[in-house]
């Protein structure tokens, strides 16, 4: 199955659309490495927070990036994330990091640094890479691009259920709208589907329905001439 090993599948979409679940299911089914680029922005944001760097200060963030190493190790249960050699897989999910990741990711020098790292990670193919700009910027020649979308309300509802209903639903929805706004309106590589992406709107679909649509797309791509 050398075709499977070399495939590059890009999955983009807003927060809470189900990208991580779909990416990990595709990775398991087709023997691909699952690379979650949001985790890289999160790891950098964690370091910025720890160093008390203003997430709006482009110059200070650029200097910090120059002395930062971020590694993703795909495992069957998701990505293990190393920040300067330390495992930060759990810490990058904290609310303060989620907020900071959304802020630090708007800066062009930070995006350029991340894009270069991500291109190196995926260079040999055999990957499903998930994020916001994979099909538009990181791998514009990806073999398959999926843009996974859902209404803010549906995504807020899912996050609310996943959080064990621990935070008020209206706060989750407000944060989703704020992150959407930043992701879609930033100057460099705003979140949008690539012209050749297949858009799956999961608002009224179950997870299994989304996964099976995505699997069918990969199967069709593998069957098509290179
Ligand atoms: O997917 P996530 O919630 O883990 O992403 C964290 C933040 O990183 C999110 O606010 C947007 C940003 N991000 C990005 O700008 N580009 C990517 N390829 C992945 C994530």
150, 225: one domain: yes
221, 186: one domain: yes
Residue from 36, 93, 105, 190 to probe ligand 1 pocket by mutation (most atoms less than 8 Å from CB): 105
Query: Which atom in ligand 1 lies closest to the alpha carbon of residue 133?
Result: 18
Domain containing residue 83: CATH number: 3.40.50.300
The answer to pTM > 0.75 is yes
The pLDDT assigned to 75 comes to 86
141, 160: one domain: yes
Choose the final residue of a domain: 73, 91, 124.
124
183, 207: one domain: yes
Tell me the pLDDT band of 1, cut-offs 50, 70 and 90.
very low
The string of pLDDT tens digits covering residues 47-61 is 999 999 999 999 999
Give me the number of domains the chain comprises.
Answer: 2
Choose the final residue of a domain: 102, 124, 146.
124
User: Mean pLDDT over residues 8-30, rounded?
Assistant: 95
Choose the final residue of a domain: 76, 92, 124.
124
Q: In what order do the strands lie in the sheet with 78-83?
A: 70-75, 78-83, 86-87
105 lines ligand 1 (CB under 6 A): yes
Confidence check: pLDDT of 5 > 80: no
134, 200: one domain: yes
Confidence check: pLDDT of 2 > 80: no
DSSP H/E element including 35: strand 33-36
Q: Looking at the chain, list the stretches that DSSP marks H as alpha helix, in order from N- to C-terminal side.
A: 2-6, 19-30, 37-50, 58-66, 95-104, 108-122, 152-162, 169-185, 207-223
Please name the residue whose Cα sits nearest to atom 10 of ligand 1: 102
132, 118: one domain: no
User: Mean pLDDT over residues 136-149, rounded?
Assistant: 97
Residue 108's domain spans which residues? 37-124
133, 221: one domain: yes
Give the Å distance between the CA of 139 and the centre of ligand 1: 16
Between residues 213 and 179, the one the model is more confident about: 213
The pLDDT assigned to 88 comes to 98
132 lines ligand 1 (CB under 6 A): yes
Query: Which atom in ligand 1 lies closest to the alpha carbon of residue 39?
Result: 4
User: Mean pLDDT over residues 186-215, rounded?
Assistant: 94
133, 219: one domain: yes
Say if residue 98 is exposed, middle or buried (CB neighbours under 10 Å; 0-12, 13-18, 19+).
middle
């Amino acid at each position: 199955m050398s075709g499977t090993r070399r495939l590059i599948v890009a999955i983009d979409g807003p927060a809470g659309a189900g990208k991580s679940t779909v990416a990990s299911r595709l990775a398991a089914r087709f023997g691909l490495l699952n690379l979650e680029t949001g985790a890289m922005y999160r790891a950098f944001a964690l370091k910025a927070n720890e160093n008390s760097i203003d997430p709006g200060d482009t110059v200070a963030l650029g200097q910090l990036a120059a002395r930062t190493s971020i590694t993703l190790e795909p495992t069957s249960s998701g990505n293990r994330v190393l920040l300067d050699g330390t495992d930060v897989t759990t810490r990058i999910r904290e609310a303060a990091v989620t907020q900071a990741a959304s802020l630090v990711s708007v800066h062009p020098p930070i995006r350029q640094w991340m894009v270069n790292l991500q291109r190196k990670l995926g260079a040999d193919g055999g990957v499903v890479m998930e994020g916001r700009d994979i099909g538009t910027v990181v791998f514009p020649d990806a073999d398959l691009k999926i843009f996974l979308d859902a209404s803010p309300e549906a995504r807020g509802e899912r996050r609310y259920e996943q959080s064990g209903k621990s935070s008020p639903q209206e706060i989750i929805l407000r944060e989703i709208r704020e992150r959407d706004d930043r992701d879609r309106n930033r100057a460099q590589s705003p979140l949008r589907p690539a012209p050749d992406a297949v858009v799956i709107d999961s608002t009224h679909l179950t997870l299994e329905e989304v996964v099976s649509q995505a699997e069918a797309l990969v199967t069709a791509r593998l069957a098509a001439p290179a």
